[in-house]
Amino acid sequence: MRHSLTVILGLAVLAFALIGSGVSLQVSPQHPPVCSCSRQADSLYLIQTFFPATNGPAWAVDVPGGEIPWNTGAPLDQWVGVVLNAQGCVQELNLEMRDLSGAIPSDIGQLCALKKLILSNNALGGGIPASIGDLELLEQLWLINTGLGGPIPPEIGNLKMLFDLRLSDNQLSGNIPDELGNCDGLFRL
């Protein structure tokens, strides 16, 4: 106990000495960003915005014997490709090869609890929305072979938790933004 107190006091003295010398200290949080999500808000967003923007009525769900349309009448936790966290918010959206078309909504960042967004192998047009940078908990982003064009938004550098980014087989243009270097954990690009 005495040793711990000595170490703590020593660190405090060092911090005050550094601050007094004009050196600034930056403490990076060890916890992920806070997300104020709600199951109701996420449900409404998926039904009222995401579903129509990506031609939801044409989405396919594979079942034995063929495909059926997406069932928006079912509870959110029963939707194919949707995984909820303990608070009931959308944590994963995996709609790979589901016949999505249209565009990723510009306000996709409203799904703040999202950790995994997989929309690969669909016919989405438009670009990657800047609000993707609002998904601060996002760890995996797969937009392979979606038909997306335009530049990679610099806001993608806000995704500090991102470790897996896949954007191949699209019509993206421009340079890779320098801000992507802010994604310290990124190991797959």
- Per domain, the residue ranges of the chain are 35-182
| CA distances (Å), origin 142, targets 37, 50, 57, 106 | 22, 17, 22, 17
pTM of the model: 0.79
Query: What CATH number should be reported for the domain whose range is 35-182?
Result: 3.80.10.10
Give residue 110's pLDDT: 94
| Those residues with Cβ within 8 angstroms of residue 54's Cβ, 6 or more apart along the chain or in another chain | 95, 100, 101, 102, 103, 104, 105, 122, 124
Please indicate whether residue 78 or residue 142 has the higher confidence score (pLDDT). 142
Give me 17's structure tokens.
């000495």
Rounded distance between C-alpha atoms, residue 148 and residue 170, angstroms: 5
Give me 141's structure tokens.
């982003």
| Other Cβ atoms within 10 Å of 63 Cβ, number | 9
Rank 29-33, 42-46, 162-166 by mean pLDDT and report only the highest: 162-166
Lowest mean pLDDT among 109-113, 148-152, 184-188: 184-188
Give residue 25's pLDDT: 30
Rounded distance between C-alpha atoms, residue 13 and residue 19, angstroms: 10
For residue 66, what pLDDT band results from cuts at 50, 70 and 90? low
Please indicate whether residue 107 or residue 189 has the higher confidence score (pLDDT). 107
